[in-house]
Structure 1
Amino acid sequence: MTLEVPTKRQAVILVENEITDMECNASLLMILNTPLILYIIDHLLTQNVEQIFIACSLENKIKISTIIQNRYKSKVVQFIVCDETKSSGEIIRQISENSQLESDELIVIKGDVITTLQLDPILQFHRQNCRDGHVVTVVYRKNHIVNESRSDDDKTIVIIDGLTNRILKVDDRKIEKTNRSYYLRLSLNKETPKIEVHGDFMETGVFIFTRQGLSLFSDADNCDMNEFPEMFYPRILENDITNFKLHCYIAKDNEYSVRIRDIATFRKVSTEMLQRHGYPYTTDLNVFGYDYNMYGHNVVSHASSKVPLKILQKSKNVLLCERTTIGINTRLNNSVVCSDCIVGEGSNIEDSQIFNGTKIGKNVQIISSVIGNNCIIEDDAIVSQKYLCENTIFGKDGIEKSTKPNDQLFTSRVQKHNASSLLRSGSACINLIDNDSDDEEQNSRDEDKQQPFSVFRSTVKKFIEAYFINHEKHMLLTQITSLKATFNYSMSETVSAIIEAFLLIGDPNGTKTTLQQLESLETSWEILEKFTTNCDEQVEILFYLCEFCDDFKYFEPTFIYILHALHENEVISEDAIWKWKEDCSNSEDYSRFIELSQGFLTALKNAQNEEGDDEEDDDDEYEYEEVEEDEE
């Protein structure tokens, strides 16, 4: 039996501790200076939660009401006031007795959670398991390879059925033993063909309760809310009579959720948010200490950096690392400036990444660019949509010169990384690429190092997915520029990968027809204009588009629409289209795409002829006027 979808999605936020300063309960970058309670409410509302109940003390209700003010309708956000918030039983009883809470999939979230979890798949998982005594869905996330947000004494062990994700045992004892022994009921051993033991699960502070599951905790008078509901897992799991079941949902790799338990965890979580969400494609910034200062508008600066306060106050979405000096009257937005950099006065840095040891002169413009290690940008230079390899001098006239000796050119080529480390890579990727070399042997070695195009496409797709969520176009341009240089693929291959990502993820919910999906991309095609290409590369892009439609047959009928969109947004020129047509005419494999686009090609030809006729008429009129003047 599967639960029916409730008519109204409801959630309860458990605010268990006294609020002393809500402005401090905010995470770096994503929600800096945003009260945590507002962040949680806004996130729930974006997940189509229609009613939110805040369970808290009377004192906290007064404080939260002041923060919320009139931001939400009274029917959307309501309070459940509890006399004793230290008692789980008291809170749960009041929640259970609330006549408005009728859902059998009640979302319960702790009041100190930073999360990007999508609730739809979690609720679907909960419904599928709501049979045979299932009462609670616990949401975990797996630790990253380097996990900074786990508390030092958090050694939770979770034993599950590897096939159904049913929780068999939970041990969260704070003990120092490295070896532990666990015993499961004989019946569980017989019923469970695949048992998994996990020490890499982290609590997210998000749970889904059935009405019956909620009532199990109503006698939890001696339990602090900080320990709810984890403290009661053993009682539920080891009760042979009731046979209640818990299941766990494992968050996806691109989702984030963690509790802010204390100031130390707050700092660690802030760092994770910084590296994984704020500036994902930068070097391992190592900002785990207390020497980074936070300012308004998502500005973070190391204490050892020399930056005028006025610049910090006016900047937005900026990270300044150790020993960096910024001159007066400099503008910084949506950028990362790594260690030991100097930026001259009057410069402007937008949507860019500046790596270690770079010297930037006065009145320099750097827009949507990636600058490698130890570069020198001369005064009054304009760097727009550029990728500068390390040890490059960029002059006012736009000429690039390398400061490395010739014998070091080949040893400093792009270092390739496996896909799993790309999000944590950075300075190692910013190395010299020598495309003009005649050394065939060295070139062949580089080709061997080059990662498959499928890996490149997959990585581009991740950034495009993030763009569809946050619509940060400036970040996307910089990230794709850096990716292109790291993988050492051509501009046409880069644009092709972006087009494929647009087409494949333009409809994340799968609710649109193919044509509707393409129409929804109308405002996104303009991004490709930033990656300008020559005519030959544009022809390559069109052939790649043909191959894409050949692989994904359902896009083939809309080939003409895609072609028109690329032409309208000046990604593909008319010269490239005619050259592509000529090349296709000589190939049976692509001839059908000429037939598909015949209407568009005819309209394009007619438009060109009309423009030519208009120009001739203008010329004739001009000559006629000159003749009249001569006669006079």
Structure 2
Amino acid sequence: MGAKKGGKQEDAVEDMPHVPLKAILLADSFNTNFRPITLERPKVLLPLVNTPMIDYTLAWLESAEVDEVFIFCCSHSKQIIDYLDKSKWVNQPNFSVTTIESYNCIGAGDALRLIYERNVINGDFILISGDTVSNMVLKQALDEHKERRQKDKNAVMTMVIKQSKPSQITRQTRLGTVELFMAIDPATKQLLYYKAKSDNQGNLTLDKAFLAENPSISLHNDKQDCYIDICSEEVLSLFTDNFDYQHLRHFVKGLLGDDVMGYKIFTHEIHSDYAARIDNFRSYGSISKDIIQRWTYPFVPDVQFSMSNSANLERHGIYMASEISLSYSSKIGRFTYIGKGSSIGGGTVISNSVIGEGCKIGSNVLIDGCYIWNNVTIENGCELKHAILCDGVVMKSESVLEPGVVLSFNVVVGQGFEVPAYSKVSLLPQPVKQDSDEELEYADNNSGIIPVTNTLENGNSSSELEPSDVGIGGRGFIWSISEVGHEEWRHSVAPIPESKLIELTQTVFDNLEINIQDDNVFPIADEQESGNESDDENRDEDQIFEKEIEATFLRGVQENVKEDHIILEVNSLRLSYNMALENCASALFYSMLKLALDTPHNSPANLVDNTNDVISRWGKLLKPYIQSIDDEIEVILKFEEMCLENGSEFAPVFVLILHLLYDKDIIQEEAIHKWADEKEGADESDKVFVKQSEVFIQWLNEASEEED
């Protein structure tokens, strides 16, 4: 009887009609962060590792089993619609893409109000921007949202968040965003407080009434808002009822401050999955690096998920497309992508860069950390670092781009001209007005770009001016720095200047002193809630800390950052995670050995050679964190831990690398003896590497006796 009853239930589930999962994709940027580029092309069509941004978002939505996507587009809507009509997305089975066009929306709030009027959403939906890259598995977050909705109809939104770089230094290095404060109920994951810290803001202040109403809260400044939201259909009507909601997060803060309606927002934190939004030039560069380093798999260059041509992955993270012409004397460095049909001349050196399709790069050119789009010409002897070059740009011979430069479409840099750091150069003159909706005035819904006829500050019409701010034979207006703000380094693809790193480090230490003095301001969670859960959280935090250190180290290697700068970032992470020096030493050591392991090798001897190369170049980073014999022992124990991992290639060469660490003065003889002595009473399984090292330890003893 029981079996029959269960069968009927299963049949009932199978007979239930499929409810299509829908998504709203906002294809308009509604900000000026990517000017002057977005005056000519919509942000979602800008290439991200040679694939338009919107393709990453659509590919993820399709993989997440979304059935229907409504793409809202406003400025440059004709370009977006034309692209989608020619793309693979229009004919996908079980995946429908529909565009909703408007010509006068000035914010996300206007867009959602218009969608509400169209009555196309009649259930839960995903709200996402077309500049978001993710590979997260959506099902768990979606199930949590639906389960909460069944119990509480006021649970109208679930926000996806992710562990972020909590220190100001690393956050600025990665995404260029301001510090974000969140208060979350640790039991229910309900979002209770959300605020972005402005630069001129002092300490965070919470009302006593707020603390009284919420006796158990977790206060975070280490979470990243992924801008992936699971919403109920009430969200659209709430935007319609409140015209003050223009930005997506105006809505969040408005709902959290509304004590009358009782609507609730919850969070879903992802850990191993990837999700990030491209909000400025700095995050554009950081996410490009993440894609090349395959954190976003399967959305990587050698897996074709859009119409863009895929490339083959070669050694050292180098991607090569087809029909490339490379001079035998050119050098292509790590983590570089070379697009289809591009040619590179003799003596040219390219590293940590993305080269688009059909580019012509001459001889003796130096390119480092640059994003070069399609059909760009760079003549002989040019030098460019940490810059963005849009389609059709020409750099005449011996010209130079200082870090942080952005050259918009078809700009020509004159022979021998040096473009100053952080300059934005465009064939379009800088507008007088700074409104975010001004891109609508530049958008040509018939052909893409219209002639610019705005009046400039000097009163002349743009059509009367010949753009020649970039040297003899050049074409382009250098925009004044006021357009991007006085701290343009925050949002640039260029590394943070050394002076700013020192300033930020001092800020971190100042804030630490304040936090120590105010240690008892916030309530501490009940000790009964600790136990195994706390141990698990500590382990998770240790793993996250190690991942942060590894990512910081790898960026330092890829960008050839000075050791002092890496140490500054590691110190900042140490303070943020409240870690000891030995934690930093073991995490850095692990990162170095991981780099040696990931570097191609075909024998144990090659692996030892790789380790020798890495330690010789970067071993100095360990010195500030190895202050005692106990710290040195922690490094040995970390190495043992790596060797005990399944299939570890380090296990057979443990003693060779231990000897190498001794030769490089990373580990002293006393630490090796003490490590071996501590293993005396251990199980046999814990003595494997001590026994492997017996001959080496005996040699150390004999050498000491000879010295005596």
TM bucket (normalised to shorter chain) is 0.3 to 0.5
RCO comparison, higher one (Cα < 8 Å, 6+): 2
TM-score, normalization by structure 2:
0.42
